Structure 1
């Protein structure tokens, strides 16, 4: 099966301080992503792995396909990471000097192209001095990427003509 992709849906990588955003046609390497946020000052690393599930609303999903307006999606995702760094505050049970950040590093990797059932389509890793901040930031980043990033998915279902698969906002 040959699939052609629009020129706007291209691989991209952008670093924001110690954090990174990646759009890739390649399989996401979870261990590598975790290592990318590791830091001696991190007491916690929160990880979210979103995988292609095999069903949706009673239909058998055979695969997903992702496309993005990569240039704008990267700007949106880097803005989301900047916002998380600024908005996630240190929990009151672990006060620390202002020089110690609530979030040390974030990584957001999103697949483009075809993602088979069972494979990750998005991986988010967040390191922090403490678990609460890592969990809060990881969830905030996930929800913001799904609501705001210019990434679309197409679900293919067993027994349905491929031409009828519709592009959807990446919010589900």
Structure 2
């Protein structure tokens, strides 16, 4: 099978770096420690992290792997918009804490990484890391980002089950991380 047949042209690696954070779509395994370190900041008293992994069962069936595809050019823009919206939501005056530079910050930095291609059981398919001066805002922003990715990002998954022919695996909206 040629590379162009194995990897749909719309499902390509992509990256967006904005003042709010980093968003990545990649075929590479996700290095959770590097992702967490990427949001480190001396002004952060908290870093909330969500790691979504491929589990070995779903509704009584044995899952052997997941496969993800994305309309990457649009999905990466949607992901950046999701991160921006979370920063806006948690940078209102009731969430703000003055930093050393005199700026008001709640959510400081965010990283949102999503795998493409095959993700074996036990490996992360999505990692979200959010740093903030306080834990509440970090947790809330992290959850908002996860829910918005599930609802809005142009990413689809296919679940493969033990004993099921691969050609019977169906693409589904990416709503069940």
TM-score (norm 1): 0.94
> How many angstroms apart in 1 are the aligned matches of 2:92 and 2:133?
9
Deviation at 1:91, TM superposition (A): 8.7
Structure 2 partner of 1:138: 142
1:30 paired to 2:65: no
Matched, 1:151 2:155: yes
* Residues 35-46 of structure 1 mapped to structure 2, 5 A cutoff: 35-46=37-48
State whether structure 2 residue 108 is matched by structure 1 residue 104.
yes
Distance 2:157 2:106 in 1: 33
Q: Specify the alignment match of 1:66 in structure 2.
A: 68
CA contact (8 A) 2:20 2:84 kept: no
Per the alignment, residue 8 of structure 1 pairs with 10
For the aligned residue pairs, the C-alpha RMSD in angstroms reads: 1.9
Task: State the shift of 1:100 in Å.
Answer: 2.0
Q: Indicate the SS of the match to 1:14.
A: strand
**Larger CA deviation: 13-22 vs 149-158:** 13-22
Gap regions ≥5 residues in structure 2: none
Q: Give me the whole-angstrom Cα distance separating, in 2, the residues matched to 1:38 and 1:137.
A: 16
Which ranges of structure 1 fall in alignment gaps of 5 or more residues?
none
Deviates more, 1:2-11 or 1:47-56: 2-11
Provide the secondary structure at the position in 2 that maps to 1:145. helix
1:153 Cα deviation after fit? 0.2
List per-residue Cα deviations over 1:99-118 (Å, max 9, x = no partner). 32110000000000000000
Name the CA shift for 1:35/1:95 in 2 (closer, same or farther; >3 Å): closer
**Structure 1 residue runs of 4+, over 4 Å off?**
89-92
TM-score normalised by structure 2 residue count? 0.91
How many equivalent residue pairs? 171
Q: Which residue of 2 aligns with 1:48?
A: 50
Give the Cα separation in 2 of the matches to 1:141 and 1:119: 20
The answer to whether the Cα contact below 8 Å between 1:64 and 1:154 also exists between their aligned partners in 2 is yes
Q: Distance in 1 between matches of 2:153 and 2:167?
A: 25
Q: Distance in 1 between matches of 2:85 and 2:124?
A: 25
